[in-house]
Chains A and B, each alone.
Chain A
Amino acid sequence: DTEVTQTPKHLVMGMTNKKSLKCEQHMGHRAMYWYKQKAKKPPELMFVYSYEKLSINESVPSRFSPECPNSSLLNLHLHALQPEDSALYLCASSQHTRLAGSYNEQFFGPGTRLTVL
């Protein structure tokens, strides 16, 4: 199994809603990531989890709350979002986060397309 799965594929929510995005991998990877991608822009890193611990928060607003319940699962909890938060949210995983050498390549899931009304 070399796949990263994400649910839901599409999500429409109001600014007062609370929703969650889910990401799962069964490759035994110990690093998982959340990225945000706006149209015609590259992905931008939001959070990094390494061995289920949050290692990087790229100054993301608190209305985005990540959670890593176990080594295979990654959630992103959403609350009181703004219309400008509408984007494609990508989850990725890698074997580890080492700077050099093999097995640090990141594999992306299909993404959740989020629309905030």
Chain B
Amino acid sequence: QKEVEQNSGPLSVPEGAIASLNCTYSDRGSQSFFWYRQYSGKSPELIMFIYSNGDKEDGRFTAQLNKASQYVSLLIRDSQPSDSATYLCAVIWGSSNTGKLIFGQGTTLQVKP
């Protein structure tokens, strides 16, 4: 089992729709979860972080965390063509204060006009 798993996609949604990106992780001790957006040829950009079970909203983005199911998701409302990118789920790994960030393989999102 991979440490952090995402569907590679591509996930294709029409403009204005909700895009739903999913991620599972294998370390039950993980407590910090992040979503990064990466455009082709650019570096990862932090768009959301979540530490507690439940939902966290920021503009068009909502992160959802369920530690019991070891599942974290990202919803993008009113998707725009500019949202087309690779979305990386990342988890701080282990049970000590190492800062070791483990990434999933990334999901490619395509928003079609």
How many A-B pairs with Cβ below 8 Å? Answer: 72
Interface of B is mostly: loop
User: In the complex the two chains form, is A100's CB within 8 Å of B99's CB?
Assistant: no
**Residues 35-75 of B at the A interface (beta carbon under 8 Å):** 36, 42-46, 49, 51
1/0 per residue A51-62: CB within 8 Å of B?
000011000000
Min Cβ gap A66→B in Å is 14
Residues of B with C-beta under 8 A to A111: 42-43
Number of A residues near B (Cβ < 8 Å) is 29
Q: B residues bordering A, Cβ < 8 Å?
A: 31-32, 34, 36, 42-46, 49, 51, 88, 92, 94-106
Could you pull out 7 A-B pairs where Cβ atoms are within 8 angstroms? A48-B100, A94-B99, A97-B98, A99-B98, A106-B99, A106-B101, A108-B36
